[in-house]
Amino acid sequence: MNDRTVLISGAGVAGPALAFWLRRHGFAVTVVERAPGLRPGGQAVDVRGTAREVVDRMGLTARIRAETLREKGMAYVDERGGVRARLPVDAFGGEGIVADIEIERGDLARLLYEATRDDVEYVFDDSIETLAQTGDGVRLTFDRSAPRTVDLVVGADGSHSRTRALAFGPESSYVRPLGAYLAYFSTPHRDGTGWFLLHNAPGGRVVGTRPTRDGRTAALFSFRSPELDVDRRDRAAQQRLLAERFAGVGWRAAELLAAAPDAGDFYFDRYGQVRMERWSAGRVALLGDAAWCPSPLTGQGTSLALVGAYLLAGELAAARGDHTVAFRRYEELLRPHVTRGQELPGGGIGGFLPESRAAIRMRDASMRAMTSRPLRGLATRLFFSKADGFDLPEYATAR
């Protein structure tokens, strides 16, 4: 191999998945993560379509299925909790919004870490400070660790990627806002319904609850808005904003918001997509949300990250470490699949966050129609097939 050492920024899902396959192909791998440890909790994520084959080739399907969520499906409710429309888990043969492998993001990240920690170097509570490419490597400095030089760097550090900023330029050049914001956090309340419940309110607002694996409730808040001047790291300001936006909404909004200050996994961000003409620059490549964040609306982010990790590692091995060949092939193979995965579901932001009561009623009616027997086949093709249709190459592994 020409390039044998790889440093990955980010220990979420994409980074450890890439580390898994790189080690299989004989590369020396280091993963650097800004957080002091693995991040627990987080939204439920779906492993769909081709990504299921990836985890099967990893030998992790049984372990992942053992920790999957057991939701009954998704339901829209009114301000009193009455059900207006349902999408049961088996409405499309077990596929769709509730995929047949659905797991909390933190649990999936932990399983990937456990599968790699014995032969991958993990450095927590640190991040890349500077990055300088030379003819034969990448010179890195860090917030805490000593400088080092590696052959290749991969940014798997999310839509706000520090690696992307250092190697490609400012975030504003690549992130396209979709006109809405999202908050997600765990609460101590127990959930006995087994359903992912959503209550829409006029003004493009939604409150949701979904059961966690331990039987508690995770809260979701989302609202339409132009760009806001809110510090991404100021949780108190974000929670004040949520309280203002959801005042008077009813249902369980006030009860759930009261739990936000004590939530260790509170998350707040805008909906956005990352669009880039290239995912590599010299010896630096991007993976997952750092390269192509499709937005949570699509439900494709985790699946695309798993498929991308498999392809990137496999192409590096097939090119015997020649990154110029491997990075080009990685993009050629994956770009069409990512383009499909970035397509927003029917109605886009407007479908998820209707502005008026009339629009909410129309959306509920369309949901009821979509699950009716005559329209199920059409709905499956329109909304739930974007994760399929990709044939994974076979790569020889070193072990």
Is the residue at 328 inside a domain? yes
The pTM for the full model equals: 0.92
Cα(327)–Cα(151) distance, integer angstroms: 14
pLDDT number for residue 18:
98
Is the residue at 180 inside a domain? no
pLDDT number for residue 49:
87
User: Per-residue pLDDT tens for 237-269?
Assistant: 999 999 999 999 999 999 999 999 999 899 999
Q: Which two tokens stand for residue 399?
A: 């072990």
pLDDT number for residue 388:
62
**Phi and psi dihedrals of 316, rounded to 5?**
-65, -40
pLDDT number for residue 97:
41
Share of the chain above pLDDT 90, in %: 74
pLDDT number for residue 267:
94
Is the residue at 285 inside a domain? yes
Q: For the chain, which ranges sit under pLDDT 50?
A: 94-99
> Is 82 exposed, middle or buried (CB count within 10 Å of its CB: 0-12, 13-18, 19+)?
exposed
**In this structure, what CATH number is given to the domain that contains residue 288?**
3.50.50.60
Question: Is there a contact between 335 and 286 (Cβ–Cβ < 8 Å)?
Answer: no
Torsion, Cα of 188, 192, 194, 197 (10° steps): -70
What is the residue type of 126? Answer: D
Q: Which of 235, 240, 242, 244 is nearest to 219 (CA)?
A: 242
Range of the domain at 336: 5-69+103-174+273-341
Is the residue at 329 inside a domain? yes
pLDDT number for residue 397:
77
Contacting residues for 340 by C-beta, under 8 A, at least 6 apart: 386, 389
C-alpha distance from residue 5 to each of 18, 254, 331, 399 (Å): 13, 51, 21, 17
Is the residue at 394 inside a domain? no
Is the residue at 306 inside a domain? yes
Q: How many structural domains does the chain have?
A: 1
pLDDT number for residue 380:
54
Cα(279)–Cα(164) distance, integer angstroms: 9
Is the residue at 219 inside a domain? no
Beta pairing partners, 201 = 205
Is the residue at 53 inside a domain? yes
